[in-house]
């Protein structure tokens, strides 16, 4: 498989060094400083940000500084040929705003005006942002807190933070554009998130929606449209690395015999290969004479309906979903795929957002139960302690969460983590597999059988839970809750877990509480959550999600991110003094990015 799974090249960031156009001394004195600003930003981005395949994000710098309209046009033409989707304009001086600004309505834009006194870079920043606002082209303004010397070539910490936040979010926007969401099946058990809206994907994300019937999986199995050698390798890998659990869930009359269990393993492994091929294609199939099937659907995210028509008759999709969502399989350590359980496209979209911001695997889970301290003590006879003392949320679904979510990877200080695939060691991948037991599926839920992963997430991981909801008359709205995974008394865990489902993976989550009414206590977070599912990412990335959402014109209905970390286009401040209300008004005014 090629490193970039999708059609075309990765998008690039264009750096626009703008300058005072007055020749005869002024412009000439600024050429080196201005171009060096552009080069320093390009270096900062290349050193800190990576594409999903692990290669450094590429920046393209205009061939010359930009002082007048012809140079703006030449830059735009170069960026068009180079596949630039995000632009950062930099300058240490005054420039002619409307002549030097990025006028492309579909590029995501930022302007860094150097805070120095020798030349008025900050004055240009204010002027050009006013131009962006007047022309309806929102841009992010980056202005350093402290005055710098004109000879200072360093990028201050606060400017660095904003540049990288903008670049991460902008690249997520540009990477989604032109890709597909693939629905395998349709609506699952009446779940609203699996009622896929092409208008949302097209207007807000620049993506297309692809849809196929689940029977395509059976056709490929029946007609042998999969790599047979890879299948044998994958099955052997699963037998060696995927620990099967004792069937303690099903009634005796529902327990499959050894032959039935082995047949299920063969089925689910084959299914995982086929679902991957449906998403991104497989050149091996063309060699086998299946040229059409070899193409795939260019899907950067997908969802599998499963319940109930499929799972009433065939083994469930938990193995395929869990393995594809993980950062490793029979091919080795590799980038995860984004595959939503129950075809919840809205949760799959947030998984995609967070993945593109972090390059790490994402946990898909039910936001199942709020456990109050009183209820826990009543049921178990024990008290919750530590971070969980004020209650916790049980995140659990039918065994399809990424195995990275077990928390068996470690950061540089030895704390549990979920990492980009290029930072994961073979030992860590093996530890995630060893921490997971594959339980025979609950056949009262999944009549066709199959296997569900079972693990307990290690506590102590900072994480961000997010959810996208579609509201009639309003459009898409995002929710964000930063918090931590927590360890609890094993006795408490067993009692609570057993009464929910013994065969599914559990993550105990505690959100960070604030004075906001949505976050005044753990109950309020659960009570105000907009749907039954959430996407959970490693790290406190709420600020990045907020920036990304503003680029797409999706408002945030609740979050617990520090207000000082909220970074949106400069013009948002013109929509009122309340930041969150202004966000709604701005998103409504500008509308979807691609409409």
Q: Which residues line the annotated binding site?
A: 342, 366, 533
Query: How far is Cα of residue 25 from the mean position of the Cα atoms in its chain?
Result: 48
Does residue 304 contact residue 187 with C-beta atoms inside 8 Å? Answer: no
Catalytic residue among 71, 247, 329, 342: 342
- Adjacency order of strands within the sheet including 59-61: 59-61, 12-17, 84-91, 108-113, 139-142
Question: DSSP letters along 531-548, please?
Answer: SSEEEEEES--HHHHHHH
Cα 551 from Cα 546, distance rounded (Å): 9
DSSP 8-state class, residue 50: B
Asked if 53 is an active-site residue, the reply is no
What lies within 8 Å, CB to CB, of 585 at 6+ separation is 575, 576
Cα 101 from Cα 120, distance rounded (Å): 16
Does residue 51 contact residue 13 with C-beta atoms inside 8 Å? Answer: no
Burial class (CB within 10 angstroms; exposed 0-12, middle 13-18, buried 19+) of 31: middle
Residue 428's φ and ψ, nearest 5 degrees, are -70, -40
Cα 87 from Cα 107, distance rounded (Å): 7
Does residue 535 contact residue 351 with C-beta atoms inside 8 Å? Answer: yes
Q: Which residue shows structure tokens 């199939």? A: 285
Structure tokens belonging to residue 588: 């409504």
Which SS3 state, helix, strand or coil, does residue 252 take?
A: helix
Catalytic residue among 366, 482, 497, 583: 366
* Residue numbers belonging to the annotated binding site for Mn(2+): 342, 366, 533
Which SS3 state, helix, strand or coil, does residue 79 take?
A: helix
Cα–Cα distances (Å) from 378 to 18, 381, 469, 500, in that order, read 66, 6, 34, 16
Cα–Cα distances (Å) from 536 to 130, 396, 508, 541, in that order, read 37, 11, 12, 10
Q: Which helix (DSSP H) or strand (DSSP E) does residue 203 occupy?
A: none
Alpha helices in 205-333 (DSSP H): 215-223, 228-241, 258-280, 283-287, 318-325
Asked if 9 is an active-site residue, the reply is no
Does residue 493 contact residue 457 with C-beta atoms inside 8 Å? Answer: no
Cα 513 from Cα 497, distance rounded (Å): 25
Residues noted as catalytic? 342, 366
């Amino acid at each position: 498989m090629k490193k970039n799974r999708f059609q075309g090249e990765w998008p690039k960031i264009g750096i626009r060094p703008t300058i005072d156009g007055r020749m005869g001394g002024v412009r000439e004195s600024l050429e080196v400083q201005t171009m060096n600003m552009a080069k320093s930003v390009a270096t900062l981005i290349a050193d800190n940000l990576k594409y999903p395949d692990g290669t450094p994000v590429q920046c393209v710098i205009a061939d010359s500084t930009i002082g007048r309209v012809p140079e703006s046009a030449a830059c735009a033409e170069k960026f068009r040929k180079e596949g630039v989707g995000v632009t950062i304009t930099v300058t240490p001086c005054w420039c002619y705003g409307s002549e030097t600004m990025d006028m492309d309505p579909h590029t995501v834009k930022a302007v860094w005006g150097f805070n120095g006194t020798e030349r008025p870079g900050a004055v240009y920043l204010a002027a050009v942002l006013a131009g962006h606002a007047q022309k309806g082209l929102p841009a992010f303004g980056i202005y350093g807190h402290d005055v710098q010397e004109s000879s200072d070539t360093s990028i201050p910490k606060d400017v660095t933070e904003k540049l990288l936040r903008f670049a991460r979010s902008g690249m997520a926007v540009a990477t989604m554009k032109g890709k597909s969401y693939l629905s395998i099946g349709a609506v699952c058990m009446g779940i609203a998130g699996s009622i896929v809206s092409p208008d949302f994907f097209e207007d807000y994300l620049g993506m297309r929606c692809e849809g196929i019937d689940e029977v395509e999986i059976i056709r490929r199995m029946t007609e042998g449209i999969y790599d047979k050698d890879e299948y044998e390798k994958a099955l052997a890998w699963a037998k060696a690395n995927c620990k099967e659990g004792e069937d303690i869930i099903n009634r005796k009359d529902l327990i499959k015999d050894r032959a039935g269990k082995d047949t299920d393993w063969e089925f689910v492994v084959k299914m995982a290969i086929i679902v991957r091929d449906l998403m991104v294609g497989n050149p091996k199939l063309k060699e086998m004479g299946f040229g059409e099937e070899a193409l795939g659907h260019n899907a950067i995210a997908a969802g599998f309906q499963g319940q109930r028509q499929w799972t009433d008759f065939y083994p469930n999709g938990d193995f395929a979903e869990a393995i594809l969502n993980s950062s490793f399989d029979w091919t080795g350590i590799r980038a995860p795929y984004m595959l939503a359980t129950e075809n919840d496209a809205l949760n799959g979209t947030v998984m995609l957002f967070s993945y593109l911001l972090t390059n790490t695997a994402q946990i898909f889970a039910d936001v199942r139960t709020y456990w109050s301290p009183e209820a826990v003590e009543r049921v178990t006879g024990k008290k919750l302690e530590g971070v969980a003392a004020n209650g916790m949320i049980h995140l659990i679904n039918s065994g399809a969460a990424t195995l990275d979510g077990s928390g068996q990877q470690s950061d540089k200080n030895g704390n549990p983590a979920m990492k980009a695939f290029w930072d994961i060691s073979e030992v860590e991948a093996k530890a995630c597999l060893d921490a997971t037991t594959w339980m025979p599926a609950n056949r009262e839920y999944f009549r066709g059988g199959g296997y569900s992963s079972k693990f307990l997430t290690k506590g102590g991981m900072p994480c961000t839970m997010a959810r996208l909801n579609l509201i009639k008359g309003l459009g898409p709205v995002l929710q964000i809750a930063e918090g931590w995974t927590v360890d609890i008394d094993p006795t408490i865990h067993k009692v609570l877990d057993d009464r929910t489902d013994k065969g599914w993976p559990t993550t105990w989550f505690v959100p960070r509480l604030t004075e906001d009414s949505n976050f005044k206590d753990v109950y309020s977070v659960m009570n105000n959550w907009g749907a039954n599912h959430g996407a959970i990412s490693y790290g406190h990335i709420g600020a990045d999600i907020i920036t990304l959402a503003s680029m797409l014109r999706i408002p945030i209905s609740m979050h617990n991110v520090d207000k000082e970390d909220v970074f949106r286009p400069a013009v948002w401040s013109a929509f009122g003094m309340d930041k969150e209300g202004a966000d709604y008004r701005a998103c409504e005014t500008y509308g979807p990015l691609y409409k």
